[in-house]
């Protein structure tokens, strides 16, 4: 997804019913599509050899997504408070496409993983992905509620 600027209503003006805008809220954000992989409680048990083969297919699929330029960064999680959390990915597509691609992951199809998809808003310019050819994320202004 190419970076584009999207301004929310009243961006840069007064904030919430005439109150001054909080100076701690950045004027612009880079919005990224994240996928959080989880191990479901009802993940099917599989023999070790079958799990190894499934993991190889999962990793090959993720490598292909990266090669295609749609998966910007990804990897496993460790030392987390929730042991069901398995991995995190940053995609260069919208939420619907990230869902579609996640549904095709061999480990998701086998029921060994499930996922959550969401937007992550960070202050503009906070993150860079130097090995990607195109900008990642979408530049937006925080909408006034």
Contacts of 31 (CB under 8 A, 6+ apart): 119, 120, 121, 137, 138, 139, 140
Q: Determine whether 70 is exposed, middle or buried from the number of CB atoms within 10 Å of its CB (0-12, 13-18, 19+).
A: middle
Q: What is the pTM of this model?
A: 0.80
Say which DSSP state 134 is in.
S
Instruction: Find where tokens 């960070």 sit.
Output: 122
**Alpha-carbon torsion 115, 116, 119, 124, what sign?**
negative
Segment 44-86, tens digit of pLDDT:
999 999 999 999 999 999 999 999 999 999 999 999 899 999 9
Domains and CATH numbers, the chain: 5-16+28-140 (3.30.70.1060)
Could you tell me the pLDDT band of residue 10, with boundaries at 50, 70 and 90?
Answer: very low
**pLDDT band at residue 13 under the 50/70/90 scheme:** very low
Q: Which DSSP state fits 67?
A: H
pLDDT-derived band of residue 132, with 50, 70 and 90 as boundaries?
Answer: confident
The mean pLDDT of the chain is 87
Contact 106, 53 (CB under 8 A): no
Q: How confident is the model at residue 103 (pLDDT cuts 50, 70, 90)?
A: very high
């Amino acid at each position: 997804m190419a970076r584009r600027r999207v301004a929310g209503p009243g961006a840069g003006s007064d904030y919430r019913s005439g109150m001054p805008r909080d100076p701690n809220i950045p004027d612009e954000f880079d919005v990224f599509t994240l996928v959080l992989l989880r191990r479901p409680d009802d993940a099917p048990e599989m023999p070790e050899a079958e799990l190894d083969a499934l993991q190889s297919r999962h990793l090959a699929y993720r490598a292909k997504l990266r090669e295609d330029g749609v998966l910007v960064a990804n990897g496993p999680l460790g030392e987390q408070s929730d042991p069901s959390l398995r991995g995190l990915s940053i995609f260069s597509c919208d939420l619907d496409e990230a869902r579609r691609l996640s549904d095709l992951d061999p480990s998701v199809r086998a029921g060994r993983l499930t996922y959550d998809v969401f937007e992550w808003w960070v202050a503009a310019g906070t993150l860079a992905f130097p090995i990607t050819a195109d900008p990642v994320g979408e530049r937006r202004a925080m909408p006034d509620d």
